[in-house]
Amino acid sequence: MSGTEPQEQPSTHTDNAPVASRKTRAMLSGKPLTPKEREILHWAVEGKTVWEISRIRSISQATVKFHLRNIYGKLQVTNRVQAVNEAIKQGLCE
């Protein structure tokens, strides 16, 4: 290598939960949120992190992220901010 080739940059994605894929969103859209998803969404609306939600619910961070991905798909959004906004708009949070 001559040192002139561009170096690959590491991913700097900082969101705590992966974005739901287009296929996942299409499969899940229109389905109601489960009670667990509603609780996860409630804590997201309260501003809790994935780690905090995992401790509150006594579940793994991976499980919280799984529920968040499903929430994103069902609400047809791509990130947590959009999910929180959509939850407020639809009156899904108390």
Mean pLDDT, rounded, for 3-18: 48
Which candidate, 40, 43, 42, places its Cα nearest to that of 62?
Answer: 40
Domains and CATH numbers, the chain: 23-90 (1.10.10.10)
pLDDT digits 0-9 by tens, 31-90: 899 999 999 999 999 999 999 999 999 999 999 999 999 999 999 999 999 999 999 999
The span from the CA of 49 to the CA of 89, in Å, is 21
* pTM above threshold 0.85: no
pLDDT at 9: 47
The span from the CA of 76 to the CA of 29, in Å, is 6
